[in-house]
Chains A and B, each alone.
Chain A
C-alpha cells in the first residue's frame, strides 16, 4: 500500500509546521490537527491498520479457532476458510521523553529569519512534546495502549501504558507541565521502562541523545530481548549539525553551564565530522540491535516523523 504522495504531502504539511503548532497551545488540539492532517493525506490510510479489518482467507487447519471460520463461505462452497484481520494484534506503546536541559536548545534565529513571519523559534523540547502528543494520538486511533515516561537525569513522571480513554488526557496534561532541565540519563529511564514493560510492545525514545551510543544500546538490550520494538527519534537542530560562527565563540553547555572556547574553523570542520559520526554510530547500533532510528531536524514538519513511525509500525506487524 502506498504510504503517501509528494503533492499531497506538501498540501498536508503546510499546516503543521512546528512553529505554527506552537501557537495552538493545546496538546490535544495539536495532536488531532497533526494526525488528522496526516491521515487525510494518506488516501486509504484513515482505516489502515485498524483491527477487525479483513485481510485474507486461508484454509482451515486443525487447531484453528473455530470462531474465525467464515461460515457464510462454508455454506456456499462447503469448504472451511479462516477469515483473517489485520488489526487483530493490538500493542502497547511507551514514549520516553527526554526533558534534559540540552533539549532547550532552539534553532536560534533560523526560524525568525524565514519568510514566514508567523513562525516562532521552538526548542527541541517543544518539538519533542509535540511529537509525543502526536504519537499518542496516533496510537489511540489504532486502539493501542500508550504510556509516557519523562526523564532527565532521573525518571520524572510516568504514565503507564493503557488503552483507557483518559490515558490520553493524562499524557497531554503531563506534557504540558513539563520543563526541560538538568542533565541526561537515558539508562535510568530505560531501566524504569524495563520494570513496567511486561509484554511486547513499542518503545519510542524522543531525545537528542547526547550520550554514549554504546552505553545506550546496552541499556536497550533488555527491552529488545523482551521483544519490545524500539524506535529512536533523534532531535537535532541545524545549528547543532552545522554551527554558523565566523569567529571564536564561547559555547556554554546548557546542562553543565560549562563554557568552552572554540573557533569557527574547528566548528566547521572537526565538529561537523564528530556530530555526523555520532549520528551514524547511533543509527548503526540501533539497526544492529533491531531498533529503528529516525533523525529529525526540528524545523521539519511533524508528519515526517509520524510517517516514519507508521512505516515502522507497519514493518513491525
Chain B
C-alpha cells in the first residue's frame, strides 16, 4: 500500500486525546454514603484496572475513527497482488528539480521533504534513484546501488539490505539538503526524454516521481504530454504554492491596424493564463490577464517583442509597480514589411488580428536592485504639473522615452507627456522638460530654449551614439543637496552606469520646497569593481591630465573631443572620459578600439558648466568623487566581451586572461591561464576579466527561462493528464487524479491491458469513508449509552 500524503499519518497522534479524556474522566472518584462498611470489601485492583480503560468499546470506536480519518487523509493506494509479486523489479526514479526557481522560498526543502516521504512509501524491494539537476539529468545517487550509478546503467536491487537502502536514501537526501539549487532552468521535455531512455535501458518498470515547483517556463516547448509509454507511472509532486509565484511576463501583442506602418502595440503585463501553443486570441489573453499584485516592487522587466520566426521587432523595459498594470507603448518598426512579406490574410469578417507576436519577459530580481543601482533625481513634490519629454530623434529614442515614463510613473501628481519634436512651443503647464538628444552636438532646441527662458527647468538627456546613453541633468545644486540629504542617499550616486549631472548655473524655478525623489532602476554594476578608477580621477583632478591617445587613427572625426572640450578624465587605456565643453555644447566621440580595431563611439559626460569654482561648486561637493568613480566605471566597459550573460552561458577566454569570480577570487590556476579556454558560468554575479590591456566586467544573471517563475496552473496540469488520456487509446480503467488544490498529481493509476505487468493502484478512500461513517455511528451509540449509564450510575 502506498500513501500519497503520509504526513497526515501524524494525525494518529490524536489518538492520545480520547485516551487521555477517558482516563481523565475516570479519575474523578465518586464518594457515596453507605450505612456500614461491615459487609464491604475494598476492590482496589479491579478499580485500577477500570481506571485505565473506561468505556472500552467507546474508546476503541473513537481510536479507530481517528485512525481511519488519518489514513483517509493520507490517501492510501493499494496495489494489486500481481503487481506486488513483481515489485522487487521496480525502479523508482526521483527527479528533484534543482533549477534556479527552486531557490525561491522553501521550495527546495519542500521538495526534499516530499521526496523523503515518498521513499518511505515505496516498498523496500524497489530501487530508488535520485536525480537532480534535472536538465542535465545527472544522477545524484542511487539507493541499493552505487552512488555513482549512471542513468543509463541498470540499477541493481541486490546490493544491500532493505534497511541499508533506507539509510542510504536518508543520507542522500541529507546530502542534498546541504546543497542549493543551481542556476539552470528545467524543461520537462528534456526530463521525460531522458527518463524514457533510461526506462528503456533498465528494462524494469520505472516509476517517475518529479518534485518540482512546476513552472510554466519548464512546460514550454510542447511538453504537454508528460506520460511516456515506457514509464510505469509519473507522479508530479508540486512544491511551493501558487501564492508565492512571482510574475509571468507573457502576453500577446496584437497588431491592430494593417494599414499603418507604425504599429503601436499595447503590451499588458501580467499573468496571462493561456496554454502553450494554443491559438487563444489576443483579446482573451488580455482579458484574462491579472493584476501585478504579486510583482516584487521595483522589478525591471525587459520586454522583447518577437515574431514567430524569432525576429526581434522591439525591446523595452519597464519597472513594475505593485497593484498596477504596466502598459508600455512599443513601436514595432518594420511590421508593415513583415505583414506584406507574409501576405497575412485578413479575416473575412473583420479587419483585425491575424498577426500575433510573442512577448518574452525577463525579471531582474529585486534583491539585486541595491542602492548603488539607482539614480535619484530630486523633484519638487508640490509641482503638480506635466513633465515633458522632447525627443529629438523619436525613431531611435523610444526606449529612452519608455524608460523615463516608467521612472516617473510612480509620481501620481506628475503627468509625463511626450512632445512632438516638430513643435514650436511647449505648453506653459509643462513644468519640467526632458530633452532627449541621441547624438551629436549637445544643444537645446528652440522650444526648449524658449521653455528655459520662461524659467522652466530643462533636463537634457543625451542618448549617445553607443549603448547605454548618457543622461544629463539640470537641477539646482543646493536643491539636490537638500534632496539627497533628506533622503540620505548620497551613495545613490555611486556605482551607476548611467550618469546624472547637475547644472550649477541655473537656479531654475525649482525653489526650495518639498522634495521627492525619483528612483531610476538600472542594471547592476558594483562600485567595488572600479578599482584604480578613483586614483585616475584624483590624478586628473589634481592637474596631471594624461591627455588622450585615441590610437593611430588620425581621423578628425575620431579626435573631435580634443577640439571641443578639455579632457578631464581618461581611462588607463587613454580613453577620454570627461570633457569640459562650453555651456550648452557637447559631443560624442569616436575612438578606435584597440582590441578589435573597430571605431567605437565613446560616450561622454558633458558638463554644462566649467568646473572653475565660480560657476559651480561641484568639485568640492562630497558627492562629486563617487560620482566620478561611477562614471568612470561605466566608461570602462569594453565591447570586447559581452556585458551581460546568463547562467549556463559559455564564454571563450583568450590566453593570458584570468577570470575573477564575483568574490574577486581567481577562477583559474596560473598554469591554465596561458591557454585559451571556454568557461561555463554557473552562478550569478559580476565577473571580472583581467587582460593585459585592461579589465572587463561581465554581469551574469539568472537563466532567462527561470525568470518566469510562475507556478503552473492546476488547469494546465490537469490538461496534461487529460491529453494523455486522450492520446493513450490503450489505457483502460484510467483513474488518474489531478487534484486541484493539492500538491500532488497522481498520474500512475493507468493500467495497460493485455500485459501481465499490470500496474494498478486502487484508492482506498471509497472503502475508508463508509468505514469512518460506520465507526462514527457506533461511537455515537456507545457514547449515548455511556452517557445514560453515567447519569444513572452517578445517581
> In the complex, are the beta carbons of A253 and B51 less than 8 A apart?
no
Digit string of B778-795 for contact with A (CB within 8 Å is 1, else 0)?
000000000001101111
| B33-55 interface bits toward A, Cβ cutoff 8 Å, 1 = contact, 0 = none | 11111111111101100110010
Using known A-B contacts A261-B42, A261-B44, A271-B39, determine if residue A246 contacts B789 with beta carbons closer than 8 Å: yes
Q: Which residues does chain B contribute within 8 Å of A256, judged by CB atoms?
A: 37
In the complex the two chains form, is A253's CB within 8 Å of B47's CB?
no
Determine whether B29 belongs to the interface, using a CB cutoff of 8 Å to chain A.
yes
Known contacts A109-B795, A259-B31, A262-B42; A248 and B50 CB within 8 A of each other:
yes
List CB contacts (< 8 Å) of A235-286 with chain B. Answer: 240, 244-256, 258-266, 270-271, 274-275, 278
The answer to whether A263 and B42 touch (CB under 8 A), given A240-B35, A254-B35, is no
By a CB distance below 8 angstroms, the chain A residues around B40 are: 251, 253, 260, 262, 271
User: Which residues of the partner chain A approach B54 to less than 8 Å between Cβ atoms?
Assistant: 247
Interface check B671, CB cutoff 8 A: no
- B792 close to A246 (CB less than 8 A): yes
- B35 near A250 with CB under 8 A, answer no
A85 at the interface (CB under 8 A from B): no
- Choice from B32, B51, B790 contacting A250 with Cβ under 8 Å: B32
Contact B35 A262 (CB under 8 A): no
Asked whether A278 lies within 8 Å of B39 as measured between CB atoms, the reply is yes
Complex CA–CA separation, A124 to B36 (angstroms):
13
Is B30 interfacial (CB 8 A cutoff)?
yes
Inter-chain contacts of B795 with A (CB < 8 A): 108-109, 244
Contact string against A for B residues 139-175, beta-carbon threshold 8 Å, 1 for contact and 0 otherwise:
0000000000000000000000000000000000000
Given the complex, which residues of A lie within 8 Å of B31, measured CB to CB? 249-252, 259
Asked if A102 lies at the interface with its beta carbon under 8 angstroms from chain B, I say yes
Q: State A245–B34 Cα separation when bound (angstroms).
A: 12
With A109-B795, A261-B43, A263-B46: A253-B36 Cβ-Cβ less than 8 Å: yes
The distance from the CB of B53 to the nearest CB of chain A, in whole angstroms, is 12
Are A258 and B41 touching (Cβ within 8 A)? no
What B residues does A251 contact at CB under 8 A?
31-34, 37, 40
Instruction: Count chain A residues whose beta carbon lies closer than 8 angstroms to a beta carbon of B.
Output: 39
Q: Does A105 contact B (CB under 8 A)?
A: yes
Q: Which residue of B lies closest to A123 (CB)?
A: B35
Contact A247 B39 (CB under 8 A): no
Given A109-B795, A266-B46, are A248 and B36 also a contact pair (CB < 8 Å)? no
Establish whether residues B35 and A210, one from each chain, have CB atoms under 8 Å apart when the complex forms: yes
| A254 → chain B closest CB, angstroms | 6
CA distance A201 to B29 in the complex (A): 50
B50 A263 Cβ-Cβ under 8 A: yes
Name the B residues within 8 Å of A126 (CB-CB). none
The answer for the CA separation of A260 and B39 in the assembled complex, in Å, is: 11
Give the distance to chain B from A114, nearest Cβ to Cβ, in Å: 14
Chain A, range 98-126, C-beta contacts under 8 Å to B: 102-105, 108-109, 124
CA A275 to CA B37, docked complex, whole Å: 11
**Is the Cβ of A265 less than 8 Å from the Cβ of B46?**
yes
Whether, in the assembled complex, A292 has its beta carbon less than 8 Å from a beta carbon of chain B, the answer is no
A249: chain B residues within 8 A (beta carbon): 29-32
B29: chain A residues within 8 A (beta carbon):
248-250, 261
B51 pairs with A248, CB closer than 8 A: yes
Nearest-Cβ distance from residue A282 to partner chain B, whole angstroms? 12
Q: Tell me if A208 counts as interface (CB < 8 A to partner B).
A: yes
Q: B46, A102: Cβ atoms under 8 Å?
A: no
Contact B30 A105 (CB under 8 A): no
Which residues on B sit within 8 Å (CB–CB) of A248?
Answer: 29-30, 43, 46-47, 50-51
Q: How far is the CB of A53 from chain B (nearest CB, A)?
A: 43
Report 14 cross-chain contacts, Cβ distance below 8 Å, ordered by A residue.
A105-B35, A208-B36, A245-B32, A247-B793, A248-B47, A248-B51, A252-B33, A252-B34, A253-B37, A253-B40, A261-B43, A261-B44, A266-B43, A274-B39
Residues of chain A touching chain B, judged by Cβ–Cβ distance below 8 Å, are 102-105, 108-109, 124, 184, 208, 210-211, 240, 244-256, 258-266, 270-271, 274-275, 278
Closest 9 pairs (CB-CB, A-B): A246-B793, A102-B35, A210-B36, A251-B34, A105-B35, A253-B37, A274-B39, A248-B47, A250-B31
User: Contacts A184-B36, A245-B793, A263-B43 given; 13 further ones with Cβ under 8 A?
Assistant: A105-B33, A124-B35, A208-B35, A210-B38, A246-B789, A248-B43, A248-B46, A250-B32, A253-B36, A253-B37, A254-B35, A262-B43, A266-B46
